[in-house]
Amino acid sequence: MSHKILILPGDGIGPEIVAEATRLLHALKDRFALAVELEEAAIGGAGYDAAGEPLPQATLDLAREADGVLLGAVGGPRYDQLPWEKRPERGLLAIRSQLELFANLRPAILYPQLASASALKPDIVGGLDLMILRELTGGAYFGQPRGIRTREDGVREGFNTLIYSEPEIERIARSGFEIAMKRGRRLCSVDKANVLEVSQLWREVVERVARDYPDVALSHMYVDNAAMQLVRAPKQFDVIVTENMFGDILSDAAAMLTGSIGMLPSASLDAQGKGLYEPIHGSAPDIAGQGMANPLATLLSVAMMLRYSLGEAAQADRVEAAVGRVLDQGQRTPDIWSEGCAKVGTREMGEAVVAALAD
Ligand code: NAI
Ligand code: MG
C-alpha cells in the first residue's frame, strides 16, 4: 500500500521550500523504495487566489483522504487587506480544527554543528534534542464560559475557563507515551497541580495512562520550574507533555534555545495519528522569491511525517542523517551561515540533502 501525501505549498517561501520536500520524497521513492503518491492543493493566499477561500473545500477533501499533509507556510502582505474570514491564516486554523489535530509536536533540536547559533552556551545546548507535545484543542483558549463583563459595582472583569475533560487528558497523555516510546522513553508531564484543580485531574489521568507504558519513565514538573529548567539544563528532557497554554509558551521558549527558525519542524496529529506537518516559521515575505530560504525545517517535517504518521522510521532516520551530513560538509543557507562555511541557496541545500541520502 502506497502512502498518500498531500502537499500544500501556500504562500511566500512556501512553494520554494516545499519544492525541495517534493524532490526529497521523489528521491526516497526512486532510490529507497518508499511507496508514496503525492498530490498538491492550494491553501492560504494561494487558496484565496484559486478558489476565493483560504481553505477551499477541494483541499479539505483531499486532506481528509491523505495519510499525511505537508504545508509550506501561509500569509503575506498581499493578503493583509482581506476581511478576517478570507485571510490566509484562517485557512490554517480551519484545517487544524476540521481535521481535529489535538496533538501538536514541537521538537527543539540543535545540531551540534550549529551550536554557536544559540544564545546559550554550547555545553548547555549543543546536541539538544527534546520534544514538546502541546495539547492544541482544549484548555483556556477554547473553554466556556469566557468573556468580558461588568460587575454590579461597575468594575469590568475579563475571564476564561481552563477546562479539560478526562478523555481529552487521556488522549494527549497517550500520545505523549507513544512518542516517548519512539524516542528516549522519558516523559515529563508539566502542570500546576499545586494550584489548579484541572492539573490535579491531569496528573491523576496521566498516572493512570502510565500503567499501559511500563517502559516509559514518567516524571511531573510544575510549569514555572519547567520554564526555569528549559533554560538552565534543557538536555535533561526527552518528551514534555502539557496543556495548551503552558505548551504555547514553553514551546516558543524551547524553539529559541536553538536560535535557528529555519531548522525547526512541527506536527499536529489527530487521534488516528494522521497529521499536518509544517516548518514552525512563516512565509518570510522579506526573502520570498530569492531562492535563499532554508528548506531544512521543511525536510525535517517530512522526516517527522515518515516517523509519526507513515510508520517509516528507517526512512525518517535516513533523512535526518542526511541533514546532519550536509551540515558536517559545511553547507549553510544565509540564516545559519557562519565564517568558514559555504553559503548555498534553497535549491542547492535541497539537492545536497538528496545527494547525502544513504543506506
Ligand atoms: P516568518 O517566520 O515568516 O519570518 C520571520 C523572520 O525569519 C524573517 O526575517 C524571515 O526571513 C526569517 N525566516 C523565516 N523562515 C525562514 C527560512 N526558512 N529560512 C530563512 N529565513 C527564514 O514570520 P513573520 O515575518 O512574522 O510572518 C510573515 C508571514 O507569515 C505573515 O503573513 C504571518 O502571518 C505568516 N506566518 C505563517 C505561519 C504559518 O504558515 N504557519 C507561521 C507564522 C507566520
Ligand atoms: Mg505561539
**Could you tell me the residue ranges of all domains in the chain?**
1-107+261-359, 119-258
Domain 119-258 has CATH 3.30.1330.10: no
Residues with CB under 5 A from ligand 2 (ion): 248, 252
Fold matches, 1-107+261-359 and 119-258: yes
The pLDDT assigned to 348 comes to 98
**Ligand in nearest proximity to the CA of 104:** 2
Q: Tell me how far the alpha carbon of residue 342 lies from the centroid of ligand 1, in angstroms.
A: 24
The pLDDT assigned to 76 comes to 96
Q: Complex ipTM, two decimals?
A: 0.97
The pLDDT assigned to 117 comes to 76
343, amino acid identity: K
Beta pairing partners, 131: 107, 239
The pLDDT assigned to 206 comes to 98
Q: Tell me how far the alpha carbon of residue 249 lies from the centroid of ligand 2, in angstroms.
A: 6
Q: Is 171 in the pocket of ligand 1 (CB under 6 A)?
A: no
Which pairs count as long-range contacts for 307-310, CB under 8 Å and 24+ apart, including other chains? 307/182, 308/105, 308/179, 308/182, 308/267, 308/269, 308/273, 308/275, 309/67, 309/68, 309/267, 309/269, 309/273, 309/274, 309/275, 309/277, 310/3, 310/67, 310/68
DSSP-based helix, strand, coil % in the chain, nearest 5: 45, 20, 35
In the residue annotation, 252 being an active-site residue is answered as: yes
Q: Is 89 in the pocket of ligand 1 (CB under 6 A)?
A: yes
In the residue annotation, 191 being an active-site residue is answered as: no
The pLDDT assigned to 122 comes to 87
In the residue annotation, 192 being an active-site residue is answered as: yes
Q: Is 350 in the pocket of ligand 1 (CB under 6 A)?
A: no
Q: Domain 1-107+261-359: which CATH class?
A: alpha beta
Q: Which residue ranges of the chain lie beneath pLDDT 50?
A: none
The pLDDT assigned to 261 comes to 87
Q: Is 282 in the pocket of ligand 1 (CB under 6 A)?
A: yes
| β 265-269/275-279 pair status | antiparallel
The pLDDT assigned to 153 comes to 98
Best CA proximity match to 16, nearest among 75, 77, 79, 72: 72
pLDDT digits (tens, 9 = 90+) for 298-355: 999 999 999 999 999 999 999 999 999 999 999 999 999 989 999 999 999 999 999 9
The pLDDT assigned to 244 comes to 95
The pLDDT assigned to 1 comes to 84
